[in-house]
Structure 1
Amino acid sequence: MRAPRAPRVWFEILLIAVSYYVYSLIRNSVPEHEDKALAHADDIWAFQAKLGLAFEDSINHAVDGVHWLVVSMNYYYSTLHYVITIAVFVWLYRKHPGRYGAVRLTLAVTTFAALIGYYLYPLAPPRLMTDTVFIDTVQVHGTWGSTSSGNLANVSNQYAAMPSMHTGWSLWCGITIVMLAKAPWARILGALYPMATIFVIMATANHFWMDAVGGMICLAFGYAAAYAWYGKSVYQLPQQPAVLAKAPA
């Protein structure tokens, strides 16, 4: 069970489909306690203000003043979260099959930890807070494809902001690319991707910076679980799985 092995494409596609379905089912079935979620948002905003680190509204307003930029960020938020993650999975499958299962386990545990956070601590994103100066950039600029507006808002839990899986998944992608890619330009892009994502989630008023910290903690738990299972860093496993010799008849 702990030995690196070559992934099978049909099993991986089925596993990803089932995992995402279960993730969505659990995430969106969490009771949407609006009052509690809004109260938690007020608490976090007040706590950040006490620290002198309540700056998301300034970023939100500055970006909203540049139409092409804020629209680009809206599409970034609603698409790259999935596109880049799938692309990294495909790259791992093709180039690093011996590490694929371990790195996949890291993300799976990270996402499971996030589900616990969604259930125990419903949190409204800044854009849904009442009596604040935050701008809902999707609503204002009519961006398509976001789960925060339109028909998708009715089937997606709008109070699952803590922890931020945009942060957790993008950081997983970035670390994986930096650790395993050979091309310097790829490593640079890998390092920039999670930083850009954290900026985008704050600029579009979808998350507080504390949500990003929550995503990082979940990812750290995911790496720790994979390390405990394999006995070493997932990136230290062999690139290619060992080929088991066929026993003689």
Structure 2
Amino acid sequence: MSRRRTIAEVLGLLAWFGVFAWLHSLVGRAHLAATANASTLQSIERALHLDIVLPVNQWLAGHVGLAQAAAWFYRAYYLVVAGVLIWVFRRDVAVYRRVRRAMILMMVLVLPVYWAVPMSPPRFALPGTVDIVALYGIVGHASRAGGWTAMPSMHVGWSLWCAFAVWTALRVTHPRAALLAWTFPLLMVAVVIATANHYVLDIVGSVLLVSTAITLTAFLPWPGSAHPPAERPDSSHSPSG
């Protein structure tokens, strides 16, 4: 990719992230509905015996060192997302374009969900929880930003996308390293639950979101080809999801 196109790519992504952040801020304002939806979700989790957030959060709150590490991990994931984007771009432009499509689709798909089903996170709606990120995080009580769009968890969504991007880039040439990438979303799942930022069903929503985005991406033509990945003659040797 030429220098001019690289600059255009970077500026385009920055503009899109800015638009997404703005739209996200607009949909995350239905506080009363978010509280009611959170109460309903709590009831569902209790019925399914998935109500583990409160005991896990209270356990983490009693271990200051781990709580601090969890808060930093929760915040610093942006660096991982940026790092994965840059790394995949430098490694394989065709793979980069594919995973970028999945990323953009994920962001487009999540906004209507946030608008239709605002959700207050456990740290606001579940009595007895400790806001670990507000207590120990880099920017303190700014953890209240976007506090009514918990379903699905974009922290888990982004971490799943990172794992998918690395797996797609490495699975043919370095399959073991590709599998290691999936430890990142597993750690994120543990962190968002223990810090009381998300419910278990928020994680399920994230998996559905990312799976849908990846599936839709698979129907798009492979970059540089007139056919979808499944129809390429050399598809067995090309990274695919």
4+ residue segments displaced more than 4 Å = 182-185, 236-239
The structure 2 residue matched to 1:88, chosen from 84, 88, 94, is: 84
Does the 8 Å CA contact 1:75/1:145 hold for their aligned counterparts? no
Cα distance in 2 between the residues matched to 1:54 and 1:120: 23
Cα distance in 2 between the residues matched to 1:180 and 1:111: 21
| Match in the other structure for 2:63 | 66
Cα distance in 2 between the residues matched to 1:15 and 1:221: 23
Does the 8 Å CA contact 1:40/1:123 hold for their aligned counterparts? yes
Q: Which amino acid aligns with 1:179?
A: T
Q: Which amino acid aligns with 2:129?
A: F
Q: Which amino acid aligns with 2:152?
A: P
Offset at residue 33 of structure 1 (A)? 1.8
The structure 2 residue matched to 1:26, chosen from 23, 26, 31, is: 23
- Does residue 166 of the first structure (1) align with residue 174 of the second (2)? no
Task: Name whichever of 211-220 and 194-203 sits farther off.
Answer: 211-220
Cα distance in 2 between the residues matched to 1:228 and 1:180: 19
| Match in the other structure for 2:122 | 126
Offset at residue 176 of structure 1 (A)? 2.3
Cα distance in 2 between the residues matched to 1:157 and 1:176: 26
| Match in the other structure for 2:137 | 143
Does the 8 Å CA contact 1:114/1:215 hold for their aligned counterparts? no
Give the % identical residues.
24
**Gaps spanning 5+ residues in structure 2: where?**
222-227
Q: TM-score, normalised by structure 2?
A: 0.86
Q: Which amino acid aligns with 2:123?
A: R
Q: Deviations over 1:98-130 (max 9, x none)?
A: 221111000110111111111111100000016
Cα distance in 2 between the residues matched to 1:184 and 1:103: 18
Does the 8 Å CA contact 2:156/2:188 hold for their aligned counterparts? yes
| Match in the other structure for 2:205 | 214
Offset at residue 6 of structure 1 (A)? 7.6
Does the 8 Å CA contact 2:28/2:149 hold for their aligned counterparts? no
| Match in the other structure for 1:175 | 164
Backbone CA RMSD of aligned residues: 2.3
Q: Which amino acid aligns with 2:149?
A: A
| Match in the other structure for 2:181 | 190
| Match in the other structure for 2:225 | none
Q: TM-score, normalised by structure 1?
A: 0.83
Change (3 A) 1:220 1:6: farther
Does the 8 Å CA contact 1:172/1:219 hold for their aligned counterparts? yes
The structure 1 residue matched to 2:94, chosen from 57, 79, 98, is: 98
Q: Which amino acid aligns with 1:212?
A: I
Find the residue that maps to 2:151 and give its secondary structure.
coil
| Match in the other structure for 1:113 | 109
Offset at residue 189 of structure 1 (A)? 3.6
The structure showing larger relative contact order (alpha-carbon pairs under 8 Å, at least 6 residues apart) is 1
| Match in the other structure for 1:14 | 11
Offset at residue 12 of structure 1 (A)? 1.7
Find the residue that maps to 2:72 and give its secondary structure.
helix
Cα distance in 1 between the residues matched to 2:83 and 2:158: 12
Cα distance in 2 between the residues matched to 1:211 and 1:102: 26
Offset at residue 224 of structure 1 (A)? 1.7
Q: Which amino acid aligns with 2:168?
A: M
Cα distance in 2 between the residues matched to 1:174 and 1:31: 27
Does the 8 Å CA contact 2:35/2:125 hold for their aligned counterparts? yes
